[in-house]
Structure 1
């Protein structure tokens, strides 16, 4: 009897192990940066949390592994990828209201305020969730990556200095309008063409957070970094909605908790990154000029912001206006 009981226990254990393995899955997660950039660090923390609290594994696909930003979004919507990290700069063509993140001077440069805003904003945590769901996406998290800087071949002290400058922008209609309002000639290009475009003078400027200027070596093909305080780079983690809805309640909690813990980590991580990476740029290229525009020098850019905000409302209608108003209310509510 004892032998039979032991055999039964062993068989049961093997069946349970087989059931666990059959339900375990390798989830695929693509993002727009390298593994050591902000999105890569966030993805790594997310992966660690999921794998520590479930039987699932996650394979990470950094920028270029599966194509450009448009490619990884298409693959996620088709269910080939379970997770995608993408900026509203690219998602804005799919979800017009997401272009609100490119209204100049809407977001503050204060990183503590930004962290509180992203964590507690009704617009982000409620309103945008429904908008993303309409496109087959489950919005899991939005987070900041740092203040955006302009890098150019000629110095920029005012909007007049951008006159006739071919300035690379993401394929985002409102970002195009922003740089038109700033006086530049906006030129939408996929990221893979930017370094070469600057090198050959097809374009003469682009914008990105400071850490990205260093990691992608864009400083090698530009000569001036300018901080106008006009924007903060925002990005978002999404899941294929059909995949997410098919998870058990326990699995959904694992995913949500992993997104939340990665958010808490990255908000702190990216705060000091701009300063440390700017120091590396200065060391690598001492001739690079770094300019923080004064309030007086920012005036023309701030004046242009009203024009861009009006254009956003024109593009997105009452739905966009409601999102914009809610974000402004959320920003006010999260001030010190």
Structure 2
């Protein structure tokens, strides 16, 4: 009820904003059609880069007949699942629907929260996400069942732990209160490590760290820098558990109302953006790490050794069964396809 109320409020606010826009401009200066896309991240983020390039290409390819408005994080809801619901209900045409964020709506998406599934080579991760039948078959079907048209999944960089104490073994995580996304599979993995997973909205994490409500958090480097989480932490730790997977979907009603030509245009643009956004996230994570080190030169950087990773990898396996229990045989099927796709690219 609380979330539905929040979505309805957002609908009213956006309707008023759109009405003001049209009343303030001359009719001939307006685009014939306006699409909007809502982000899980702030301006200057990886998702913002995707959305801005999407906007540029759509407007260019339609000769200005379509105008795209980008709503950064906080503009349309802050709760997990708000943006997906905004697309489902037609408040926006597109929204970022990263698997961990929409796991409560699309349980099958929890597949991408499983630790130690992916290889070190992030180019392989990007290629598999862009081409795997697991993504474009059963996963896309699962999104469709929730009134979402899955357009793209892409890596945003390795998830990095931040903490005020060194973490090298599961014993070091005993009782560690770590903020995680609202995904039961993700939470189960951290409980298996001995940690105490805490769910908290993205915009509350900094104050949570500052006030000691949580001991640490996990995010890609660019997010740790742009949200200033590193200011409240002494360590950044690479456990190489899982890359953060971003995603974008269209609302199903909007999608079905598009002409076949427009749908093909959007799909082609989304496909073309896979290579673009891979380069962007790579550059952003490298550049933002330099900023962190410049601002906090004493921050401790830890990259776990293989024997240390092995301890976490073994404990992570129990969460795979939790995932299979949640979604049934389709979960096992998608995992097998992904593992085979990864293996094929490693050969």
TM-score (structure 2 length as normaliser): 0.88
Aligned match for 2:37, one of 29, 45, 59: 29
Q: Tell me the distance in 2 between the aligned counterparts of 1:96 and 1:136.
A: 14
Are 2:305 and 1:294 aligned? yes
Structure 2, gaps ≥5 residues long:
1-27
The aligned residue for residue 136 of structure 1 is 147
Deviations 1:272-307 (A, max 9, x none): 432322121111011210000001111211111211
For this pair of structures, how many residues does the alignment match? Answer: 317
Partner residue in 2 for 1:250? 261
**CA displacement, residues 35-67 of structure 1 (integer Å, 9 cap, x when unaligned):** 211000000111111000111010000000111
Report deviation, 1:157. Answer: 1.1
Matches within 5 A, 1:317-332: 317-332=328-343
Select the residue among 235, 238, 241 that pairs with 2:252.
241
| Matched ranges for 1:106-121 at <5 A | 106-121=117-132
Q: Is the 8 A contact 2:42 2:73 kept in 1?
A: yes
The aligned runs of 1:1-336 (5 Å cut-off) are: 24-54=32-62, 55-68=65-78, 69-335=80-346
Determine which structure has more spread, i.e. the larger CA radius of gyration.
1
- Deviating above 6 A after TM superposition, structure 1's stretches of 4 or more consecutive aligned residues are 20-23
Distance 1:207 1:22 in 2: 42
Write the deviation string for residues 105-158 of structure 1: whole angstroms up to 9, x where unpaired. 002231121122122211112221111100000011110100110001111111
Distance 1:216 1:90 in 2: 18
- TM-score normalized with structure 1 length: 0.91
Contact 2:87-2:251 at 8 Å conserved across structures: yes
1:83 Cα offset (Å): 0.1
Q: Verify the 8 A CA contact 1:156 1:226 in the aligned structure 2.
A: yes
Is contact 1:109–1:147 with CA below 8 Å preserved after alignment?
no
Match of 2:24 in 1: none
